[in-house]
Amino acid sequence: MRHALSIEPTPTSRQHFADDAAAEPAPYLQISHLWKTYGDFVALRDISLSIARGEFVCFLGPSGCGKTTLLRAIAGLDLQTQGTILQDGRNISTLPASSRDYGIVFQSYALFPNLTIEQNIAFGLENTGRSKAGVASRVAELLETVGLSAHGKKYPAQLSGGQQQRIALARAIAISPGLLLLDEPLSALDAKVRVHLRHEIKALQRKLGVTTIMVTHDQEEALAMADRIVVMNHGVIEQVGSPTEIYRHPETLFVADFIGETNQFPAHVLGDGEVEIGHSAFCCSTEEFSAGHAATAVVRPVDIIPHGADAHAANAIDRPATPQNLIDAEVREMEFLGMFWRTRLTAPRLGERTLVADFSVNAVRRLRIETGGAIQVEIPRERLLLYPRGA
């Protein structure tokens, strides 16, 4: 008689299985192969994305890139043409908006002008089975959370734009939703209020631990607030990563150009570790390129290092090796932007193309950088990025 072979996992293997499960928790929101078409126009093309529980994710991109369409699909306000959306393991792909577990804040606030602030916040709570006392207690708690306890009896028109947005946020989180959706919530506010409120929203999200998706076209806003950024363009995802990854290691020319400022130069790959820009060879990583390939070389203004007008001589004394990619330049323009000076330089090695560089106030003072003066600047090898020409 044959005996079934039974293999019991050892304590060590059980621990490995447990560790693997703990290391990779199931995503809270799972979007798979999502498409949205309007006739012949493709608004979303094969979007797949995972969002972890408690994560703050920004959908970032120019107008018309599909970010709001994707948010509306998640909310059930505009159903996708095909594809699936799972929220906490539940398939919500075809559910109406009223059956989904989220709160949403719109750019326009969408407060009821004829209701007081207390009534606006209580609106979504009244159908949850709470008693009147329970609703009142929750409203008071939320007003305190957003710092507007003294304004409950006022009407929306009596509040500033920033205060109205905080009330809209309080109303969205009143029922403790599993997902918070923010559709360009700060774009209607002035710059100073916007900066203040984005810190408040981020702090509140951290306190509540609610999974949050925000749509924005403001790169600074996304970099300051998000745990991860989803950069979109023409209905597709260009790159997903942390703010540092998106800014320092853009995977495409579009991402490099859209996030922050860039200098872009036509280049040709000379060989291992060298490209030709203008009339000269420059050192950079060429791992993904073959000799002779046309490319676009990119460097951010903030990454350019000023060395003054006599860097070659100074380096000969101070250290044995001259910095790589050191070029002579002339300062054509200087623009004071408070925290730094934006300078426009011309350099023979770049074929007389303009090079934009951002220098700190201290560097400008220390090196006596001035319009019309000579300067030497370094383009660090690791910060000179290459992308396929025409990408």
CATH number at residue 276: 2.40.50.100
319: Cα separation from own chain's centroid:
39
How confident is the model at residue 107, as a pLDDT? 85
pLDDT higher than threshold 50 for residue 287:
yes
The verdict on 203 and 351 lying in the same domain is no
Q: Are residues 156 and 211 in the same domain?
A: yes
Is 18 part of a structural domain of the chain?
A: no
Query: Please, which residues have CB within 8 angstroms of residue 229's CB and are 6 or more apart in sequence?
Result: 57, 58, 60, 222, 223, 239, 240, 241, 242, 243, 246
**Average pLDDT value over all residues in the chain:** 89
Look at residue 4 and tell me if it is in a domain. no
Range of the domain at 342: 261-388
Q: Write the pLDDT tens digit of every residue in 77-98.
A: 999 999 999 999 999 999 999 9
> Considering the domain boundaries, does residue 342 fall inside one?
yes
* 317 C-beta neighbours (distance < 10 Å), count: 7
pLDDT of residue 1: 40
Does 6 map to a domain?
no
Q: What is the pLDDT of residues 264-273, one digit of tens each?
A: 999 999 988 9
Task: Decide if 334 contacts 350 (C-beta within 8 A).
Answer: no
More reliable by pLDDT, 52 or 315: 52
Q: Where among 257, 285, 306 does a domain terminate?
A: 257
Instruction: Verify that 107 and 230 share a domain, yes or no.
Output: yes
Domain boundary, last residue among 222, 257, 292? 257
Are residue 64 and residue 180 in the same domain, yes or no? yes
Is the pLDDT at 144 greater than 90? The verdict is yes
Least confident of 158-167, 207-216, 315-324: 315-324
* Domain contains 175: yes
21 pLDDT higher than 60: no
Tell me whether residue 7 is in a domain. no
Residues 140 and 210 in one domain: yes
Domain count, the chain: 2
Greatest mean pLDDT range, 127-136, 172-181, 348-357: 172-181
pLDDT at residue 389 tops 60? yes
